[in-house]
A and B are shown apart, each in its own frame.
Chain A
Amino acid sequence: MSTQTTEKDASMLKQKEMIADHFHALAHAKKNGKKVVYTFVPGNLTELINHFGLLPVLPEINALQSGMRGKSAEYIAIAEKAGHSEDVCTYVKTDIGMLKAGNIGPTGEPLPKPDLLLLSYTGCFTFLKWFELLREEYDCPVVMLHVPYQADGAITPEMRDYVVGQIRREVIPAFERLSGVKYDEAKLRAQLALSARAEDDLVWVLESGKHRPSPIDAWFGGVYYIGPMFTSFRGTQDAIDYYRLLREEIQERLAQNLGPVTPDGPAGAERYRLVVEGPPNWTSFREFWRMFSSEGAVVVASSYTKVGGLYDRGFRHNPDDPLGTLADYCMGCYTNLNFPQRVALLESYINDYAADGFLINSVKSCNSFSAGQLLILRELEKRTGRPGGFIESDLVDPRYFSAANIKNRLESYFQMIEARRTGARP
Chain B
Amino acid sequence: MSAPVQEKIPGRLGEMVAKMEALYADLDLAAVRDWKSRGQNRRAVGFLPVYVPREVIHAAGALPVGIMGGADRIEIVRGDSYFQSYICHLPRSVIELAVVGKLDALDGFVFPSICDVIRNLSGMFKLLLKDKFVHYLDLPQNFDRRLGGRFYIQDMQHLAQGIGRLTGVEVTDSALRASIKAFNHNRAAVRRLVAARSDRPWEVPTLEYFLLLRAGYLIPVEEHTALLDEYLELVGRSGRHMMDNVRVVVRGAFCEQPPLGLLRTLERAGCYVVDDDFVLGAHFIERDLDERGDPWEALAEGFMEYSVPSASKYDEHRTKGSELVRRVRDVRGEGVIFMAPSFCDPALLDQPMLAAALEKEHIAHTALKYSEDTGQFQVIREQAGTFADGLKLWSNA
Q: Which B residues touch A146, using CB under 8 A?
A: 140-142, 148, 314
Interface residue A269 (Cβ < 8 Å from any Cβ of B):
no
Are B138 and A148 within 8 A (Cβ)?
Answer: yes
Interface residue A372 (Cβ < 8 Å from any Cβ of B):
yes
Are A169 and B144 within 8 A (Cβ)?
Answer: yes
Complex partner residue of B116 from A119, A126, A151, CB under 8 angstroms: A126
Task: Please give me the residue from chain A that is nearest to B359 by CB atom.
Answer: A83
Are A133 and B349 within 8 A (Cβ)?
Answer: yes
Interface residue B184 (Cβ < 8 Å from any Cβ of A):
no
Q: Which A residues touch B123, using CB under 8 A?
A: 151, 338-340, 342, 372
Interface residue B394 (Cβ < 8 Å from any Cβ of A):
no
> Chain B contact residues: over half helix, strand or loop, or mixed?
helix
B64-122 interface (Cβ within 8 A of A) = 81-84, 86-87, 91, 113-117, 119-122
Q: Which A residues touch B315, using CB under 8 A?
A: 132
Q: Which A residues touch B269, using CB under 8 A?
A: none
Q: Which B residues touch A371, using CB under 8 A?
A: 83, 87, 91, 116-117, 120-121
B321-375 interface (Cβ within 8 A of A) = 340, 342-346, 348-353, 355-356, 369
Complex partner residue of B141 from A128, A135, A340, CB under 8 angstroms: A128
Complex partner residue of A364 from B86, B146, B348, CB under 8 angstroms: B86
Are A119 and B126 within 8 A (Cβ)?
Answer: no
Interface residue A373 (Cβ < 8 Å from any Cβ of B):
yes
The segment from A27-35, A158-166, A173-181 that touches chain B is: A158-166
| Chain A nearest CB, measured from B125 CB (Å) | 9
A89 to B154, CA, bound (A): 32
Are B151 and A158 within 8 A (Cβ)?
Answer: yes
Are B352 and A339 within 8 A (Cβ)?
Answer: no
A379 to B128, CA, bound (A): 10
Are B144 and A151 within 8 A (Cβ)?
Answer: no
Are A126 and B345 within 8 A (Cβ)?
Answer: yes
Q: Which A residues touch B127, using CB under 8 A?
A: 339-340, 343, 375, 379
Task: Please give me the residue from chain B that is nearest to A152 by CB atom.
Answer: B136
Interface residue B265 (Cβ < 8 Å from any Cβ of A):
no
A149 to B115, CA, bound (A): 12
Interface residue B316 (Cβ < 8 Å from any Cβ of A):
yes
Interface residue A85 (Cβ < 8 Å from any Cβ of B):
yes
With A170-B144, A372-B120 as known contacts, state yes or no: A132 contacts B353, CB within 8 Å: yes
A47 to B87, CA, bound (A): 36
Interface residue B25 (Cβ < 8 Å from any Cβ of A):
no
Are A374 and B82 within 8 A (Cβ)?
Answer: yes
Are A129 and B346 within 8 A (Cβ)?
Answer: yes
Q: Which B residues touch A149, using CB under 8 A?
A: 113, 119, 136, 138
Task: Please give me the residue from chain A that is nearest to B117 by CB atom.
Answer: A371
With A158-B151, A162-B151 as known contacts, state yes or no: A87 contacts B86, CB within 8 Å: yes
Task: Please give me the residue from chain A that is nearest to B153 by CB atom.
Answer: A158
Q: Which B residues touch A87, using CB under 8 A?
A: 86, 342-345, 348, 369
Are B351 and A135 within 8 A (Cβ)?
Answer: no
A246 to B232, CA, bound (A): 72
Q: Which B residues touch A392, using CB under 8 A?
A: 84
Are B116 and A367 within 8 A (Cβ)?
Answer: yes
Interface residue B185 (Cβ < 8 Å from any Cβ of A):
no
Q: Which B residues touch A419, using CB under 8 A?
A: none
Q: Which B residues touch A130, using CB under 8 A?
A: 349
Task: Please give me the residue from chain A that is nearest to B355 by CB atom.
Answer: A83
B223-276 interface (Cβ within 8 A of A) = none
| Chain B nearest CB, measured from A383 CB (Å) | 11
Complex partner residue of A374 from B83, B142, B150, CB under 8 angstroms: B83
Encoded as 1 (CB less than 8 Å from any A CB) or 0, chain B from 21 to 43 comes to 00000000000000000000000
A144 to B117, CA, bound (A): 22
Q: List 17 A-B contacts (CB under 8 A).
A: A88-B348, A125-B114, A128-B141, A128-B314, A129-B345, A129-B346, A129-B349, A146-B148, A162-B151, A169-B146, A170-B144, A339-B123, A340-B123, A364-B84, A368-B116, A372-B82, A372-B120
Closest 7 A/B residue pairs (Cβ): A339-B123, A151-B136, A129-B349, A85-B348, A367-B116, A146-B141, A162-B151
